[in-house]
Amino acid sequence: MRGETFLQSLNDGRTVWLDGKKVDHLPEHPAFKGTLQTIKSLFDMLDDPDQRDDVGYWVPERGRYAHASFLVPHTPEQLAKRSRSFSRWSAETNGMMSRLSDYARSLVTGWYAARDELSKLDPHFAHKISAYYEQARDRDLFLTTAIIDPQIDRSRNLDDERIAERFLHVVRETEEGIVIRGAKMIATGAPYTHDFVLSSFLQFKPQDRKHAHVLIVPANSKGLHIVCRESFAQPKELNHPLSAKYDEMDAVLFFDDVLVPWERVLLYGDPQKVLALRANKTANSLAFHQNVVRYVAKLEFVTGIAFAVAESIGTTGFLHIQEKLGELLTQIEIMKALVIAAETEAKPDESGVLVPALSYIETARNIGTRFYPRAIEILQQVGAGGFVQVPSSVEDFYGPISELMHRYYEGATVSAEKKVQLFKLAWDLFGSPLGARHQLYERFYAGDPVRGYANLYNAFDKERLTEPIWNLLKETSRGGLTIT
Ligand SMILES: Cc1cc2nc3c(=O)[nH]c(=O)nc-3n(C[C@H](O)[C@H](O)[C@H](O)COP(=O)(O)OP(=O)(O)OC[C@H]3O[C@@H](n4cnc5c(N)ncnc54)[C@H](O)[C@@H]3O)c2cc1C
């Protein structure tokens, strides 16, 4: 089964740091065990005859199933298959795991799909991306992205030597490849990824050639340190149902003179070309599509919990609770509508790849940064103090005060035990360290929301909206019209 192969593949000499120690056996480590078991079960779906068509597609030339994030869509059915696969993995994890590799795989698939067009940037691009795409697809590689540079001093740019030294850059070229040094700020899933897709959001200047690159770097590269944040994983699923299974670890990456072989150097040395690759619509659209499909699952999960909480304490009849629950439904419908619009208005690119409409996807990614904090605010308003009235452990239901527990934690419509479990689930969603991380994640995973919204404005054909306004307004003083 591929899940087991995935777990075993992680014992590959990678350098993962947690709590000041190097982690040697990730699958057995308490910080990663629960999460890796979740990923294992998702990978196994591709070997299950009853589920593999939901998440994968048949690759005839290889005689095996591959995950649908690798499927290049040319027809609406193929696009729907990609969407269904994102939706299935998201439903399995309640939208709580967003970097299950299907996002970064989609980026690679998009570059592969647009390789002819992108060959204009570099004649070797098509060959390199084709070889890598096939390898990633056929070996079920887990991928993640690391784009953001370290948060040292955002008022400075690469003209500042201190910044230039610390941001990821090339220190020398060799016959085998390039040697890179510097750091990348956050890579979710980093400790258990196979490869990192590295690029940058920097607005490069022509002289920034050492910092301008798009690379694919194996996690076990010599000199690469994966520095984890504090673990939010919890051992007991009954008390922490989400933290026990879904702690997607975030990490900072230190590249201490890492050799990247030429075949993994997709672009290097030409800032304009790197910017052009970053702006490639086919890849961005296929990858961001995953983000938005996953987001629907997350909103449905929050809404389901809010409904259940309201039912459990008998507040569903109150007008303001109904209004708030209705708002949550509105969020879901808006997000779903944007997914449907992006898929139904998908258009073929230059190579005939059916690309979801990016404007709807960008809209969903932007508005999502505001929906999630509001959804959590509503959940808190619905459950109020109930979230901190729960006992420290559900084990109290089996101890000496069991009878009292059953009596006083009772809900309007549910047993005391179920009610406590429900409120613990909700607390894990927003009050635990994992929950706090999720609020930060939904605000920032798609980049800085301030600049995200501003980009929408900047890229928009503004005249389309302003021209009718200017036409409506007459200069009466010059046109001889009488003001009545
Ligand atoms: C939980 C989590 C997981 C993540 N996982 C990944 C991942 O897997 N891969 C990945 O590549 N990235 C990941 N990210 C990083 C994410 O892309 C960034 O957080 C996001 O792009 C914002 O960048 P920043 O955090 O560096 O904030 P900064 O850019 O440092 O911004 C800090 C504040 O300053 C303001 N600011 C900074 N510069 C400017 C400017 N020039 N103009 C106007 N305002 C400015 C911002 O608006 C913001 O309010 C993750 C982030 C989080 C929180």
Q: Which CATH number covers residue 300?
A: 1.20.140.10
SS3 393: coil
Q: Is the pLDDT of residue 478 over 80?
A: no
Kindly state whether residues 61 and 178 are assigned to the same domain: yes
For the Cβ of 358 lying below 6 angstroms from any atom of ligand 1, the answer is no
In a domain, 418, yes or no: yes
Tokens of 163: 């910044």
Q: How far is ligand 1, taken at its centre, from the CA of residue 156, in Å? A: 15
Confidence of residue 67 (pLDDT cuts 50, 70, 90): very high
Which pLDDT score is estimated for 481?
57
Q: How far is the CA of 378 from the centre of ligand 1 (A)?
A: 25
Same domain, 304 and 249: no
Report the share of the chain in percent with pLDDT over 90.
95
The residues near 326 (Cβ < 8 Å, ≥ 6 apart) are none
What's the structural domain count of the chain? 2
SS3 479: helix
Same domain, 319 and 177: no
H/E stretch holding 48 reads none
Where residue 133 sits, what CATH number does that domain have?
2.40.110.10
pLDDT tens digits for 323-354? Answer: 999 999 999 999 999 999 999 999 999 999 99
List, for residues 148-203, the tens digit of each pLDDT value. Answer: 999 999 999 999 999 999 999 999 999 999 999 999 999 999 999 999 999 988 88
Does one domain contain both 257 and 349? no
Same domain, 335 and 235: no
DSSP letter (8 states) at residue 160: S
Q: 263 and 324: one domain?
A: no
Whether residues 204 and 316 fall in one domain? no
Residues 180 and 256 in one domain: yes
Ligand 1 atom nearest to 449, measured from its CA: 47
Whether residues 328 and 398 fall in one domain: yes
End residue of a domain, out of 225, 255, 278:
278
* Token output for 62: 């290889």
Burial 272-285 (b: 16+ CB within 10 A, else e): ebbbebbebbbbbb
Q: What is the mean pLDDT of the chain?
A: 96
250 Cβ closer than 6 Å to some ligand 1 atom: yes
From the CB of 445, is ligand 1 less than 6 Å away? Answer: yes
- Give distance in angstroms: CA of 441 to centre of ligand 1: 10
| Assigned domain for 103 exists | yes
Say if residue 171 is exposed, middle or buried (CB neighbours under 10 Å; 0-12, 13-18, 19+).
middle
Q: What is the pLDDT of residues 268-301, one digit of tens each?
A: 999 999 999 999 999 999 999 999 999 999 999 9
Q: Clarify whether residues 143 and 73 are in a common domain.
A: yes
Question: For residue 72, what pLDDT band results from cuts at 50, 70 and 90?
Answer: very high
pLDDT band per the 50, 70, 90 thresholds, residue 484: low
250 assigned to some structural domain: yes
Claim to verify: residue 287 and residue 165 sit in the same structural domain = no
Residue 475 lies inside a defined structural domain of this protein: no
Q: One-letter amino acid identity for 457?
A: Y
Residue 143 Cβ < 6 Å to ligand 1? no
Phi, psi of 274 (to 5 degrees): -65, -45
pLDDT of 431 > 80? The answer is yes
Q: Determine if ligand 1 sits within 6 Å of the CB of residue 154.
A: yes
**DSSP codes, 294-349:** HHHHHHHHHHHHHHHHHHHTT-TTSHHHHHHHHHHHHHHHHHHHHHHHHHHT-EE-
Beta strand 250-261 pairing with 177-188 = antiparallel
pLDDT above 90 for 475:
no
Expressed as residue numbers, the domain containing 442 is 281-461
